[in-house]
Amino acid sequence: MKNIPISAMIGLGFTALYFVIAVFAPLLAPYGMAEVVGDVWEPSSSEFWLGTDNIGRDLLSRMIYGGRTTIFIATVATILSFVTGSTLGFLAAVLGGWADQVMSRTVDLIMSIPSLITALVILAMVPVTIPILILVMGLLDSTRVYRLARAVAVDIAVMDYVEAAKLRGEGQIWIIFREVLPNALSPLVAELGLRFIFMVLFVSTLSFLGLGVQPPLADWGGIVKENKDGIVYGIGAALYPAVAIATLAISVNLVADWILNRTTSLKGGRG
């Protein structure tokens, strides 16, 4: 671990910081999440570090709790989308034939509708709870992962070592997880960092539109929505979540880049 480049160090540091804050939010936040403690849009002071929001709640506490919600939803949704997307993608590549056709065309169908619109329609119909939100985001995003996983695995599935495994009589499970997956890892890891950030943006967008995390629960998109009117009066409260999202995005991708470099330079790695 001693050869971590400086950029990955920075990324790792910030990412870890965000996750630590998310996990220990109740201990770190100076006030309660929904506690009204001051006036509307108070400027930052020693009492309220980032000022207060549109109904007088402490903005720093809101940001910390909001980060917790946003990061949690994005993480679980990313894991869900990767597990479903890559398993189905690998399966399609290994099986080929009509199974591949059915899966791929279904995915094409889903992808042909912008995922935000699909999500809005579904969330307008069902009660918006966090598990439902995660499920909708994860499954919609898994179509992207499916495409990547399938494309990578198709190349691998025609290699002689996969044919050798088939001739040996290995089952699909072995072929997918022992022959294909280790060789498909680098592009998937690179995609993981990117998709996580898309998830953060996705959940923020939904919340901003009022179909994501429901008040009084805080999340970064919701904070922007609540405080957007303040911008007119020169109140920057809506910009803090933007800064948080930007720094998280950059630091996660710095880490993803580093992992990508490491896995591709593994002995005998692809590309």
Partner 1 sequence: MSDILLKVRDLKIGATVYPPGEKPRDIEIVHGVSFDLERGKVLGLIGESGAGKSTIGLASMAYGRGGVEITGGEVWVNGRDILKTTHGDIRKLRGGEVTYVSQSAAASFNPAKKIMDQVVEAAVEQKKFTRKVAEGRARELFAKLGLPDPDNIGDRYPHQVSGGQLQRCMTALALCPEPDLVVFDEPTTALDVTTQIDVLMAIKEAIRDTGVGALYITHDLAVVAQVSDDIMVLKMGDTVEYGTTDQIINNPQEEYTQALVSVRSIDHEEKKPTPEPVLSVDGITARYKGLNFDVLHNVNVELHPGQTLAVVGESGSGKSTLARVITGLLPPRDGEITFAGRKLSPDLKRRSREDLRELQMIYQMADVAMNPRQTVGTIIGRPLEFYFNMRGAEKRKRIIDLLDEIELGEKFMDRYPAELSGGQKQRVCIARSLAAKPKMIICDEVTSALDPLVADGILKLLLDLQKIEDVAYLFITHDLATVRAISDSIAVMYQGRVVRYGSKSEVLNPPFDDYTDLLLSSVPEMHLGWLEEVVAHRKMESAGN
114 contacts: CB under 8 Å, gap ≥ 6: none
Instruction: Name the residue nearer to partner 1 (CB basis): 168 or 232.
Output: 168
d(CA 93, CA 235): 52
Closest separation between CB of residue 29 and partner 1, Å? 43
Instruction: Name the residue nearer to partner 1 (CB basis): 95 or 209.
Output: 95
Closest separation between CB of residue 83 and partner 1, Å? 20
Region binding partner 1 by CB under 8 A among candidate stretches 25-33, 136-144, 154-162, 229-237 = 154-162
**Contact (CB, 8 A) for 253 and 193:** yes
Closest separation between CB of residue 155 and partner 1, Å? 11
Using CB under 8 A as the binding rule, whether residue 266 contacts partner 1 is answered as yes
Closest separation between CB of residue 201 and partner 1, Å? 33
Torsion of CA 68, 72, 75, 80, to 10 degrees: -170
**Contact (CB, 8 A) for 25 and 64:** yes
# chain residues binding partner 1, by CB under 8 A: 21
- Tell me which of 4, 23, 49, 161 binds partner 1, using CB under 8 A: 161
d(CA 148, CA 257): 17
Using CB under 8 A as the binding rule, whether residue 163 contacts partner 1 is answered as yes
Kindly state the helix (H) or strand (E) to which residue 137 belongs, with its residue range.
helix 130-157
d(CA 230, CA 141): 33
Structure tokens at 106: 């279904």
Please give the residue ranges that form the binding site for partner 1 (CB under 8 A): 3, 159-161, 163-164, 166-170, 178-179, 182-183, 265-270
